[in-house]
Structure 1
Amino acid sequence: MKKFLPKPNEKIFGLKSLDRDTLIYRVLPRFLLEILRKYFRLEVEGAENIPRRGAVIIAPNHSGYSGFDAFLLGHVIQEEAKRVPRVLTHHFWFLTETTAIPAQKMGFTEATYENGLNALKKGNAIVLFPEGEQGNFKPTTERYQLQEFKRGFVRMALEAGCPIVPAIVLGAEETHINLKKLKFTKFLKGSVIPLPLNVLPLPAKWRIRFLEPIELPYKASSVNDAELVHDIAQDIQEKMQAAVEEEIAKRGNAFL
């Protein structure tokens, strides 16, 4: 049988063999994220707490306005846990086809309850920020003060019967400085946007810590118990706030 032989100077597994989409949306983002990981001197702790298979909600604090926390979390989960998470992100990414196509190719999904639950029912890991845009766009003067958690992530966990892994991200607050949170009153009512001081990221040292998984010992029907859902979300927020303060006390100067 005649064997396939590559032509001279042809690299089967080189960049030339990659299609345009793979290069733009897979290879380059991964390359850039590795650069960011080194630039921020990123430390990761507790990756063993991420289940290697099955549905799971990874619930981090949200900060830094730029979305770097979402990019880096997705990258860390792929590298450390060998899973490709569905990252639920702000609907602004999906307002136009120009932004929606690259967002989807990089694993981003519009942050809706239905999208999150569908991903979980297929056995996927999802990254969901319980603070939403209120956490992401809060002013830097309120850094590391967790905003009130929305309860959708608890309802998803109850309905899908999956664990929640809280995650703590330190460094994003100092990387991008936000002066103020602006609220829309006329157009896009109810939405908020940041008023940033810097666009280029400052070299703050980053640390991501995954806490132990939280298994909810309740039936799926508990999703309709508003008081229970509220109490669970509040308990997780308090647990994460305590972990954030513990990490801040240990780290010292954010840039050293």
Structure 2
Amino acid sequence: MINFLKKPNEKVFNLKELSSDALLYKVFPRLVMEIMKKYFRLEIEGLENIPEKGPVIIAPNHSGFSGFDAMVLSYILQQNTKRIPRVLTHHLWFLTKTTALPAQKMGFIEATYENGVSLLKRNNLIVLFPEGEHGNFKPTSKRYQLQEFKRGFVRMAMTTNAKIVPTIVLGAEETHINLQQLKFTKFLRGLVLPLPLNVIPLPAKWKIVFLKPVQLPFDAEKVTDRELCHDISSEIQEDMQKKINREIKNRGSGFF
């Protein structure tokens, strides 16, 4: 996979000599990400908590229907560590070649258990949102209220002995306002979509906090223990919710 977000060793002076692919998937994304960092006045804490090697699962809260949190996280990880993150994303990205090609070139992988395990067994760092689409597509009235975590990330960690880095993203909830969560169970089981208020992102102040990594003291044989996986997932969710609540209380307004 091509590293399209990686910072080049030398500056690009003649854009006319670059291919359309390089402009679209290399120069333009970096430019947009740098603009977003300044626009959101991005603050980052806890980069030292990200392991330098071995299989790692970055497990953030999912917020703001646009998916900006996934893009910003991927860029920050790539710019501040020596690792290339693989972001497990919604299957809707991969329904057609038109959306699948740019998604793959940006380092996005379809969010399946098999894909996650395969990447981790090759000692990759992956970004996986335990809430799934129910997190970033929830209405803004429920902002910063974590939705129930799926247990796949726990099972992946057990299977591959990967470390889990719980991660807090603040600001995305205010950047994009979602009026309602729409469910289309009659047409496609489990399909959830947002009803957005704004398309242009609002200038909320963002903060990303990487918490201390969690090493599960269980081997792969425990992966089928549903109660254990549920308890671990719930405990991580509870700890993250407490951290979110403290951060929200301390920061005051999301725009100042």
Structure 1-normalised TM-score? 0.93
Aligned partner of 2:109 in structure 1 is 109
CA contact 1:48–1:81 (8 Å) conserved in 2: no
Stretches of structure 2 that go unaligned for 5 or more consecutive residues are: 1-10
Report the 3-state secondary structure (helix = DSSP H, G, I; strand = E; otherwise coil) of the residue aligned with 2:155. helix
| Residues 240-255 of structure 1: pairs in structure 2 closer than 5 A | 240-255=240-255
Counterpart Cα distance in 2 of 1:152 and 1:57: 11
CA RMSD of aligned residues (A): 1.3
- Displacement of 1:242 in angstroms is 0.5
Counterpart Cα distance in 2 of 1:224 and 1:125: 23
- Displacement of 1:22 in angstroms is 2.1
1:123-175 per-position Cα deviation (integer Å, ceiling 9, x unaligned): 11000000000111000000000000000000000000010000000000000
Stretches of structure 1 that go unaligned for 5 or more consecutive residues are: 1-10
Following superposition, which runs of at least 4 residues in structure 1 exceed 2 angstroms of deviation? 11-20
Aligned partner of 1:223 in structure 2 is 223
Structure 2-normalised TM-score? 0.93
Counterpart Cα distance in 2 of 1:69 and 1:47: 16
1:19-54 per-position Cα deviation (integer Å, ceiling 9, x unaligned): 322221122111101100100000000011111222
Report the 3-state secondary structure (helix = DSSP H, G, I; strand = E; otherwise coil) of the residue aligned with 2:236. helix
CA contact 1:65–1:136 (8 Å) conserved in 2: yes
**1:200 lines up with 2:204 in the alignment:** no
Report the 3-state secondary structure (helix = DSSP H, G, I; strand = E; otherwise coil) of the residue aligned with 1:233. helix
| Percent identity for Structure 1 against Structure 2 | 67
Aligned partner of 2:7 in structure 1 is none
Counterpart Cα distance in 1 of 2:13 and 2:84: 22
Aligned partner of 1:71 in structure 2 is 71
| Residues 85-96 of structure 1: pairs in structure 2 closer than 5 A | 85-96=85-96
Greater C-alpha Rg: 1
Paired residue total: 246
Change (3 A) 1:35 1:218: same
CA contact 1:171–1:207 (8 Å) conserved in 2: yes
Change (3 A) 1:35 1:189: same
